[in-house]
Amino acid sequence: MLFAILSAFAGGIILNLMPCVFPVISLKAFGLVRQGGDQVRLRQEGIAFFVGSLLAMLALAGILLALRAAGQGVGWGFQLQSPIIVTLLILVILGSSLNLFGLFEFGVGLQRAGQQVDTKEGPLGAALTGALVVVLATPCAGPFMAGALGYALVQPPLAGLAVFAALGAGVAAPFTLLSFSPALARRLPRPGPWMNTLKHVLAFPMLAAAAWLVWVLAQQTGPSGLALILGCAVGLAFVGWIYGMAQRRGFMGQSTAAFHIVAGAGVVAIGTAILLPDSAIRSPVPAASALATMSDPSDANPTEVRPIAWSAKRTQAERAAGRPIFVDFSAAWCATCQVNEKAVLSTKAFKDAIARTKTVYMVADSTNYDPAIEKAMNDLGRTGLPLYLVYPAGGGEPVVLPQVLSRDIAVEALEAAARGKA
C-alpha cells in the first residue's frame, strides 16, 4: 500500500512534464507572476490549486471506482472516451484562450468592481485551474503510475481512493511548493502592462490543446462531430465577444438586450455541446483506422507493414499458430501513445523488425469505449494507456514493454519473441 501511494505521488509529479499538462502550465505560471511577490496571496493560490487538484482527482476516482463496481470495465482516462466530455473540454479550453487574449474578463462585471473580484476570485481561479490540470493529465500515464493505478483498482474503495489522492497530490505538489517559496516570491517581477502581452503569448499553448482535442473528437465521431464542434467554437467566440463588449460598456448587471443575447447564445452553445446528437456519434474507424488486414505479415514489404485490429479471438488464433504477436493498446486522446507512434512504431527500423520476425502487429484502439479491450487490460492488471504487449512465438506469457518506448527496446523485444523467449 505504501509503495503504491509513493509510486502514485511520484507519477503525479512526473505528469507535470507530460505534453497533456503543458498547456495549463502557462496558466499556473501566470498565476504566480500576477501576484507580484505577494507571499500571502501566493500561498492562498498554492493551497487553492492543491485543493482543486485533489478534489478533482477524488471525483474522477470515485466515478471510476463506482463504474467498475457496477460492472463497467473502464480504466484511467475513461472520461475522454466520451465525445460529449471531449466537446465540453474543448469549449472550456477555448474559453480560457479567449479570456487570455482579453476578449472578455472572466468573473468581472462592472469595471469599478474589478479590484474586489480580483482579490476574491484568485483562489477560486487557482482551484479551477488545478481541476483542469487533473482532467487534462488523465490521457497520460507516466512512469510509476501503471502499477499504482492497477493496484488501486483491485483494492477496497477507501484504499483505492488513497492511492488516487496521492496521485492528485503529486500533480499539485510542484506548483504548491513553489507558491510557498519566499525566495521565488522575491524574484518574481512586479505586475505591470507587460502582463497583457504575456497573457496573449500564453493563450497559444491553450489553443494548441484545443486543436488536439478537436482532432481527437474527429477520430471519435467523424466529419459530423467535427462540424458540430467547429460550429460550437464559433458560437462560443461570439458569446465571448458580446460578453466582453457588455463588460467594457458597463452593461453587466443591468437588464439589457446585450445581456440577454449573451445568456441566450451561451445556452445554445453549451446546450448543443451537451446534447450531442446520436447521429454525430458513429462507430469510428480506429486510430489505427487505416488498419489493414494482413493474412501473413511475412509477405509484407517493410515499408507497407500495417497493423490489424485487435480482437481476443484473433489473438488466440495467432498464438495457437505459434506466431509472435505485438499488441499496441492506444487511443487518439493518449498523448504518450501518439509520441510513441511517431518516434518508434512508424519508423522503418520497427517495421523492418516486424517483417523480419514475422510478427503479427495488432492495435487495440480505446479512442471510444470498447468493453473487450477494457476487459483484456483489466485481466492483465493494467488500467492506463499506453500498453504494449509482446507474445513470444510458440506460447508463453506476454511481455509488457515500458510505456515510454524506444526503438531499441521495441526491436529487441520483437527479436526475443521470434526466438520464443519471454
DSSP 118-144: HHHHHHHHHHHHHHHHHHHHTT---TT
Q: Examine the fold and report which residue of 181, 202, 223 is the final residue of a domain before the chain moves on.
A: 202
**pLDDT digits over 296-316, tens only?**
444 445 456 788 999 999 999
231 falls within a domain: no
* Residue range 305-332: mean pLDDT, rounded: 92
Enumerate residues 6+ apart whose C-beta is below 8 A from 297.
Answer: 305, 354, 355, 358, 359, 360, 361
pTM for the whole structure: 0.64
Q: Do both 41 and 168 map to the same domain? A: yes
Instruction: Flag whether 238 is in a domain.
Output: no
**pLDDT at 344 > cutoff 90:** yes
CATH number at 414 reads 3.40.30.10
In a shared domain, residues 71 and 176: yes
Last residue of a domain, one of 158, 176, 202: 202
Judge whether 213 lies within some domain. no
The answer to the question of residue 329 being in a domain is: yes
Residues 26 and 155 in one domain: yes
Lowest mean pLDDT of 158-172, 193-207, 389-403, name the range: 193-207
On whether residue 364 sits in a domain, the answer given is yes
- Percent of the chain, pLDDT > 70? 69
Show the domain range for 308.
297-418
Which residues have a Cβ under 8 Å from the Cβ of 253 and sit 6 or more positions away? 109, 110
Is the model's pLDDT at 73 over the cut of 70?
no
- In whole angstroms, what is the distance from residue 360 CA to residue 291 CA? 13
- Report the pLDDT value the prediction gives residue 51, as an integer from 0 to 100: 93
Which of 172, 202, 232 is the last residue before a domain boundary? 202
Q: What is the pLDDT of residues 104-122, one digit of tens each?
A: 765 443 333 333 333 345 6
Model confidence at 227: pLDDT above 60:
yes
Mean pLDDT of the chain: 77
Domain shared by 31 and 139, yes or no: yes
Domain contains 248:
no
**CB contact at 8 A, 383 and 408:** no
Place of cell 476578449: 103
* Residue 147 and residue 387 in contact, taking contact as beta carbons nearer than 8 Å: no
pLDDT tens, 136-181? 776 665 566 766 776 776 678 888 899 889 988 988 888 888 888 7
- The least confident of 52-66, 292-306, 308-322, 354-368 is 292-306
| CA atoms of 321 and 341, how far apart (whole Å) | 27
Is 369 a member of any domain? yes
My answer on whether 169 and 58 are in the same domain is yes
Q: Is residue 173 part of a domain?
A: yes
Query: Is residue 218 within 8 Å of residue 368, measured between CB atoms?
Result: no
Question: Which pLDDT score is estimated for 301?
Answer: 54
* pLDDT attached to residue 184: 65
Evaluate if residue 277 carries a pLDDT over 80.
Answer: no
47 and 167 housed in the same domain: yes
Range of 197-206, 251-260, 323-332, 366-375 with top mean pLDDT: 323-332
Mean pLDDT of all residues in 321-336: 91
Number of domain units in the chain = 2
